[in-house]
Structures are given as C-alpha cells and as structure tokens.
Chain A
Amino acid sequence: MAQSTKTAIKAVPLRHPLRWAAALYLVLVAAAFIVDASHRSAYDWKSFNKYIFDARVFKAAGVTLSLTVIAMFFAILLGIALAVMRRSPNPVFRNVSWIFIWIFRGTPVYVQLVFWGLLSTIYHSFFIGIPDIHFGHVYLGLHFAISQTASLYWLAIIGLSLNEAAYMAEIVRAGLLSVDNGQEEAAKSLGMSWWTTMRFIVIPQAMRIIIPPTGNEIVSMLKTTSLVTAVPLVTDLYARTRNISDEIYNPIPLLMVACAWYLFFTTILMFAQYFIEKRFARGHSPMIGVQS
C-alpha cells in the first residue's frame, strides 16, 4: 500500500429524529398489544401451550409439510416439462402443454380437489395403452383399478401438484424466455442437441429468474394445503387443529397453534430461499465465484 495523503472526512452524520420517534411509538403499541394479549382469556394461552407440541398437532404439521414438499416436487418437475414442451419444435408437445395449463390454471384449486376426491365415483378403473387392440383377453397396456379407498393423501397430492404445475410452467416459461436467444445459437453451433442445450445452457440460466417466484409458490403451497379438506383429507395441520378445538369449545388457541406452525415453516423456507438464490447467482454477482 502506498502512503496516502488523504484526509478522512470528519462530519456530523445526519440525524433522523422522526424515524426514531416512529419506531419508538410502534414498539410501544406492540408492547401494549402483547401485554394485553397475554391476559386476555379468549386467547387461552394455557391451551395454546398444551397443544402447540401435542403429538396430534405435531403429526399434522408433518402431514402439511410433506404435502407441501411432495406436491411442490412433482409440480416443479411437471412445470419444467410443460414449459420446455411449450417451446419444443414438436407441435404435439406444444399443444398438450397449452391445454394442460389452460384447464388447470383456469379452474379453482378447491374445485379441482373436490373432483379428485370424486375420482373413484367418476371412473372405476383406468387404462394406459391402446384401448381396442387386444389378443384374446390380453390388452396392450396397463390396467389400474381405482379403489373406493384410494388414498386420500395421494389424491390430495395429485390435485395440488397438477394445479401448481400449471403455475410453475408459466414461471419456468418466463425464466426460459429471459435467456438471450444467442445462448441457444451458440450452443447449437457447438453441435449441442436441443435437449443438451436446454439442460446445460438454458435451464441453469433461467434458474436465476425462476427461483424467487418459486419460493413464493412454495410458501403459497404450504398454505394451500389447508384446502385439502375438499378431497376430503382431514389429517393436515388446519383440519386437525379445527378438529381438536371442538374438544375444548374454543377455536382461538388452536388457530394460534396452526398459525405458529405455518409461520415456523415459512420462516425456514425464507432462509432456504436466500441461500439457493445466492447459489444460482454465479457469474452475475461481482462478489461470487471469482478466484483470481
């Protein structure tokens, strides 16, 4: 380091008295609210404490979390597939994708969940293959029976993930569109196939655009799981806490229990998102990745 002759600036920093006053006021209001709430009998904190770690609540929280994770997992995979199909050179793929998104984004998720619950009433079995071709009794394809007791849990996951996939497809599509055309051309001119180009060039770059809204979708999915009553699946956090509150004739403490758990999960998701976003910012932020 060369000896520098610079003189550091010594100045009185700008003061912000109004900010301080506003913050103080809000803290006081919040404190008053908390003190009041801690006394208010309607909140019934004793029940809150009793049920927040209740084994049934714990298990229900697990159900909500697993619904979220599994449904999102399938929704993301299917969403990527739909978005990639949307810009495939193959018109069959393009149209299938368009119709799927049209239907699943165009109807309410609650209604879709009710439909999935009625699946076994509408169809008694389903069959994958070519329907009218068979050799004696041997059909060309696979045959599945839908039992009356088809797992409500999996029906809920199917319902949630198909609906969410339509939204994810739009998010992924926006991400893919954000990648400059020149990228695809450069990859092509190196001789990469369409799929290699997607997989190693376009999708990784689209991730930067895809991840922030996907984080939102996961948080949103966590809360949407409370609609699975429509299937009807009643083992998730919301249904279970409602159910328990019938025992104590006071819905409020168990609503608070449910909120506490939802908030706990969304907080974890927010942290996770922060780290994942950093990971995919490679090559874009001046701070990351340079090892000179």
Chain B
Amino acid sequence: MVSAHEIHKSFGSNEVLKGITLEVKRGEVMCLIGPSGSGKSTFLRCINHLEKIDAGRLSVDGVIIGYREQHGKLYELKPSEAAKQRSGIGMVFQKFNLFPHMTALDNVISGMVRVQKIDKDTATKEGKALLERVGLADKADHYPAHLSGGQQQRVAIARSLAMKPKLMLFDEPTSALDPELVGEVLDVMKGLAQSGMTMVVVTHEMGFAREVADSLVFMDNGVVVEAGDPTDVLGNPQHERTKGFLSKVI
C-alpha cells in the first residue's frame, strides 16, 4: 500500500530524512517508533504530501505521491490533483486539530460536504453512523471545546474515516491525552485495524505496538535502524541504538 524508497528530506541545511526505505502491505498496521526529532512526523507528512520530498520515490496504492508520471517523466501535480490524492489518505494528529467552530457531527461531515460534495442529508446520516462507530453518537451536537481529549481524538478519527481512506496515518494520536483517556482511543484504533484498515502509526504506546502492529520500525536520526516483527524488535533488539531507546521508554 505504501512503498517508500530512499526518501530524503531536508529543511534548509538540516537533513531530516536520510534515505528511508520501507514497505507497508495492504491491511498491515505498521508502528513507527524513535526518539524525538528522528523524523517520524516528517515521514508521515511526506506520505500525505504535506511536505515535498527532495529525493526518492514514494507511492501509495501504486500511485506516486505529488507527481504524475508520463513517458518516464515526472510532472508536479496541480493543487487540485494533490488535494484529491490527499483525500484518500486519512491523517490523525497529536493535537486532534478538530475545527472548533463546528460541532462534532459537522467536523465529521466537513470532508464529505466540502470535498466530495455529498448532499448534507446523506452526509449527516453517514456522519452519525461514524460517530456511533467511535462511541460518540450522543455527542453529535457538541462543540470540540466541550469534549474531553479522548472524545476529540475519536471525532478526529471519524472525520478521517468519513473520506473512506485507503490508508490512515496516525501521528502520536494519544500523546496529548491524560493517561486514563488513552485506552478509549487505542480501542477505536484496534477496531479499525481489525476491520482491515492499512495504518501507519507513530506512537510511544509499546503495548499497542506489541498487540496490534504487524510490523515495527525503529527510526533514529533520519534512518530506519531496525524493522521487523514487533515482538522480535521489542523483545530482542539487534542494534545498540534500539536497545538504548527501548530501555528508556519501556
């Protein structure tokens, strides 16, 4: 589903991604771990074309991100084409980023109404079903400010799902939550994983990684240091840097 080959990305003279190569299969859940500043968020943002890569090749579902290939030549996508591409990839942020001037339901249907141009009644019906799916059917009319962090993040997940994405990206979805609220969000994500969604999750929740992930990738300093089955990587890390990192977080 995601195919990344030798991805490089710099901000000015600061090279943040130094050749990332990895593969996420359809229906697979991949967890990305690594110390702060190692480039995890940047990599996710590249997959969603929120950042442009400098070198390498990145495709989702066989389609190159940000470019169109014609006769062996790459052409930069028009903003509208890039937007269309993004709409098929869901993204959930650490700080939820719900739209504060809209109710939970309006947040969920915003993409359907404004991007897919689905009529409001149909969208509302689907939106309510999605809120039900994340356990928030009774909060449809609440504004984000009146929801707990866990509830907000679940609304944000429903908002992404509304676009019927083929891939979901999560950037530390539980890091901004009080400990007692982490579980409810992870539960929704587990359900999503069981339903066969392809997911790339940046997280510090090793329990989740061990239980749900099909593969675990440890990144440090812009490179993939170690990747493999979560139980193996967590239980028997091969590299010093992985060992050092895990000894601090577990």
Residues of A within 8 A of B89 (CB): 189
What number of B residues sit within 8 Å (CB to CB) of A? 36
Q: How distant is B147 from chain A, measured CB to nearest CB, in Å?
A: 11
Residues of A within 8 A of B86 (CB): 188-191
- Given A186-B97, A190-B111, A200-B114 in contact, is the A282-B143 Cβ separation under 8 Å? yes
Whether B97 and A185, one on each chain, are in contact in the complex, defined by CB atoms closer than 8 angstroms, is yes
- Given A283-B144, A290-B141, A290-B143 in contact, is the A192-B115 Cβ separation under 8 Å? yes
Most chain A CB within a 10 A radius of its CB, from B79, B98, B114? B114
Whether A284 and B79, one on each chain, are in contact in the complex, defined by CB atoms closer than 8 angstroms, is no
Cα distance, A189 to B101, chains bound together (Å): 18
Q: Which residue of A lies closest to B143 (CB)?
A: A283
What per-residue 1/0 map shows which CB atoms of B57-97 lie under 8 Å from chain A? 00000000000000000000001100111111111010101
Q: Does residue A53 face the partner (Cβ distance < 8 Å to B)? A: no
What per-residue 1/0 map shows which CB atoms of A168-197 lie under 8 Å from chain B? 000000000000101101111111111010
Whether A292 and B141, one on each chain, are in contact in the complex, defined by CB atoms closer than 8 angstroms, is yes
Q: Does residue B9 face the partner (Cβ distance < 8 Å to A)? A: no
Q: How distant is B44 from chain A, measured CB to nearest CB, in Å?
A: 10
Q: How distant is A157 from chain B, measured CB to nearest CB, in Å?
A: 32
Residues of A within 8 A of B163 (CB): 190-191
Q: Does residue B125 face the partner (Cβ distance < 8 Å to A)? A: no
Whether B50 and A188, one on each chain, are in contact in the complex, defined by CB atoms closer than 8 angstroms, is yes
Select B110's contact among A190, A282, A284, beta carbons within 8 Å: A190
Select B159's contact among A190, A196, A289, beta carbons within 8 Å: A190
Whether B90 and A189, one on each chain, are in contact in the complex, defined by CB atoms closer than 8 angstroms, is yes
Q: Does residue A205 face the partner (Cβ distance < 8 Å to B)? A: yes
Cα distance, A204 to B48, chains bound together (Å): 25
Cα distance, A186 to B160, chains bound together (Å): 9
Cα distance, A189 to B110, chains bound together (Å): 12
Residues of A within 8 A of B88 (CB): 191
Whether B87 and A286, one on each chain, are in contact in the complex, defined by CB atoms closer than 8 angstroms, is no
Select B50's contact among A89, A189, A283, beta carbons within 8 Å: A189
- Given A189-B50, A191-B163, A290-B142 in contact, is the A282-B84 Cβ separation under 8 Å? no
Cα distance, A277 to B19, chains bound together (Å): 51
Select B48's contact among A189, A194, A205, A282, beta carbons within 8 Å: A189
Residues of B within 8 A of A289 (CB): 103, 143
Cα distance, A112 to B89, chains bound together (Å): 51
Q: How distant is B139 from chain A, measured CB to nearest CB, in Å?
A: 9
Whether B145 and A283, one on each chain, are in contact in the complex, defined by CB atoms closer than 8 angstroms, is yes
Q: Does residue A148 face the partner (Cβ distance < 8 Å to B)? A: no
Q: How distant is A200 from chain B, measured CB to nearest CB, in Å?
A: 6
Whether B80 and A193, one on each chain, are in contact in the complex, defined by CB atoms closer than 8 angstroms, is yes
Q: How distant is B202 from chain A, measured CB to nearest CB, in Å?
A: 15
Select A191's contact among B83, B102, B144, beta carbons within 8 Å: B83
Q: Does residue B100 face the partner (Cβ distance < 8 Å to A)? A: yes
27 pairs, CB–CB < 8 Å, chain A vs chain B: A89-B79, A182-B95, A183-B99, A186-B91, A186-B98, A186-B156, A187-B110, A188-B83, A189-B89, A189-B160, A190-B86, A190-B115, A190-B163, A191-B84, A191-B85, A191-B87, A191-B115, A191-B163, A196-B115, A201-B110, A205-B101, A282-B101, A283-B102, A284-B100, A289-B103, A290-B141, A291-B141
Which 6 A/B pairs are nearest by Cβ-Cβ distance? A191-B87, A186-B97, A190-B111, A182-B97, A189-B91, A283-B143
Known: A189-B160, A190-B111, A192-B83. 8 other contacts (CB 8 A): A185-B50, A185-B93, A188-B50, A190-B86, A191-B83, A193-B79, A283-B145, A289-B143
Instruction: List residues of chain B with CB under 8 Å of any chain A CB.
Output: 48, 50, 79-80, 83-91, 93, 95, 97-103, 110-111, 114-115, 141-146, 156, 159-160, 163
Instruction: List residues of chain A with CB under 8 Å of any chain B CB.
Output: 89, 180, 182-183, 185-194, 196, 200-201, 204-205, 282-284, 286, 289-292
